[in-house]
Amino acid sequence: MAREYTLQRAPAATAINIDYAAELNEQQYAAVTATPGPLLVIAGAGSGKTRTLTYRVAYLLENGVDPRNILLLTFTNKAARQMLDRVANLLPVDASGLWGGTFHSIGNRMLRRHGSALGFSSGFTIMDREDQKDLLNSVVAGAGIDPKEIRFPKGDVLADIFSFVVNTERSMEELLAEKFPYFLPLLEQIKDIHARYERRKKSTNSMDFDDLLEKTLRMLREHEEVAEFYRRQFQFILVDEYQDTNKIQADLIDLLAAEHQNVMVVGDDAQSIYSWRGANFQNILAFPRRYPNAQVFKIEINYRSVPEILHVANAAIAPNTQQFRKNLSAARLTNHARPAMVALNDGGEQALFIAQRILELRDEGVELNEIAVLYRAHYHAVELQLELSRRGIPYQITSGVRFFEQAHIKDVAAFIRFVANPRDEVGFKRMIRLLPGIGGKSAESLWQGWERSLGEAAAGVGPVVAGAADSVVAGGVDPGREDGAATLAGVTAPGYNIAFGDRLRALPVPARSKKSWEQLAYTLDEIAPDGQPKQPTEMIMSIVEAIYDDYAKANFANYELRKEDLTQLAAFARQFKDIHEFLSQLALISNVDAEPAVNQAGEKEAVNLSSVHQAKGLEFHAVFVIWLTDGMFPSSRSLETREAIEEERRLFYVAVTRAKDELYLTYPHMRLNAGYGDMFQRPSRFLKEIPTQLVEDWNVRRH
């Protein structure tokens, strides 16, 4: 006969005696010690949000809640580990049974246990992005879609489309209409691919990253016994950065908390800035409506910034109508310096001002690592990157690779490199591999054919325009030249220019590439008629319009942002009459004083250049917020709706609250434009909303 054996709960630790009132300010203390039930904690920037969550977990444990009955949801596993480590330092208890991690990691644990309810075994594979792209490309090929006939979205773009559909719980048609309108004619085919993709994942016992949320929620909705199991287990749910949750994440929380409603969500509605990737601002705004008994706490004491910066931050966010009103107050003393409002002539002068002020700050003892330049979009920092390179000021790009090193910039530049130097093998191959049906082997074969054609041209065979200047490609930089101009080193063509189109048409290309190859030949003739290159801006605009725009739509989910970058590249190129000078500057900014894109070792000081989105959660001694003009910040795409403008204003608020001691708000009066010459810029409406007495105007003059 089997013996009955009962596990007893370990006795709670005694005499812990955390003095919560002494460890926390009054606002934090009220939230941490609140009675069970739904709790919304609006934690302003720099107010100790993590501290509040950590002490709430400790408070629950000290009051006898079993760690196994606590679920802590964060947006990074690192954040969860840090909170739990802090809890361990506060309490001498074993909290290993507590479930803490990202929504995706928690979903994974649930699916490993109960995924069989959906027909997946516990050993399912989680595909990374590369795996997902490969599978989607395979599904497209298996569906018989002919890329010769239509520009069908590639695997990467399909993955983003399907991800938006899952995380926003919207229909495919609605999603395409808003974010990918150029794919609407392909709606039925894309829906078919989605269905095929789902079947392939099921048959191969595989899931992608979004399935860890979608499948978890579906499992809980369709299998009440599984949902009931987790509702009993997770008696207290705590959520970090709640303003960043999407629809599916909020639904998951609501489902798990449906009975006990012991859910504490912590966030700042004023820092909700990720709608472009699916975050739903209404989740935090509507929390009191979804939980009518919710207690709302506001934590408004800021430990990061001096009062002068917080006055500007409060004024900046005040015009938003959709928000929980709060007023940040400073725990720090005044530094008697108001944030600077700096008007400048153009982007070049803005770059000069920032570079000079950075050097002055460094002389004043501020380390470069403690200085940040923040911008709305990556291309806003073009002139600044060039100026920092010229002055030998090291910088690192928090928001990704340097502007001129991005794939789409290098793709378009490859056309110009090839026109400047017909012997540029790298440029030639990069250019032609953008065309459908041309891979590595085809590119090598075509290059060999092109080399033979060049040999014939040198011998006077075929279409050649004689007597032109040598064609060159920009190489390194001549350290002996004061202006820092690049030497025109590299491969030099033997005194002729190529009639590109006719020679390209003579090369044998794969059948599926003939149409696009003809377009390439036509485009090269257009940007360099009779081998004579046009002005760089004209070349860029023609390349994008004739070839690259279609390629970008099919290959990049963030097509609109990349298109903005290319428009800025064309505007930047207006200052150069000659393609060799233009290519020299590209070489300069890519190679001179280049620091690693991310300063991994931390051994060298470097100024931080970052989009505001990437800077969220960071703080710096001095912050420059640049290009504060209407159409740049706020972006032109946001000017049509109140909701979009309010998110842009929240983004500006996030930028301002990154600064601890010094804040510089800069706006150029003029902006280079690719097609219309210099454009007058209006100061950002966000600047006009700040009372003049809160800032100090700086009048910048040239020496």
Residues marked active site are found at 49-50, 240-241, 271, 658
- The answer to whether the CB of 102 falls within 8 A of the CB of 74 is yes
CA separation for the pair 456, 424 (Å, rounded): 17
- CB burial of residue 392 (10 Å; 0-12, 13-18, 19+): exposed
DSSP 405: G
CB atoms within 10 A of CB 314: 21
The residue type found at 382 is V
Q: Are 403 and 654 in contact (CB under 8 A)?
A: no
From the DSSP assignment, how many helices (H) and strands (E) are in the chain? 29, 21
Q: What is the DSSP string of 138-197?
A: HHHHHTT--TTTS-PPPHHHHHHHHHHHHHHT--HHHHHHHH-GGGGGGHHHHHHHHHHH
DSSP output for 31-70: HHTPPSS-EEEEE-TTS-HHHHHHHHHHHHHHTT--GGGE
**418-421 long-range Cβ contacts below 8 angstroms, 24+ apart:** 418/524, 419/471, 419/500, 419/524, 419/527, 419/528, 419/533, 419/539, 419/579, 420/471, 420/472, 420/473, 420/474, 420/533, 420/579, 420/580, 420/583, 421/471, 421/472, 421/473, 421/490, 421/491, 421/492, 421/493
CA–CA separation, 31 and 20 (whole Å) = 11
329 forms beta bridges with: 301
Whether the CB-CB separation of 257 and 250 falls below 8 Å is answered with no
Q: Which two structure tokens, joined as six digits, stand for 5?
A: 């054996």
* CA max distance for the chain: 104
CA distances from 539 to 517, 560, 623 (A): 18, 20, 36
Residue 279 near residue 241 (C-beta atoms within 8 A): no
Count the Cβ atoms, other than its own, within 10 Å of residue 209.
17
Burial 43-82 (b: 16+ CB within 10 A, else e): bbbbbbbebbbbbbbbbbbbeebbbebbbbbbbeeebbee
Bridge partners (DSSP) listed for residue 528? none
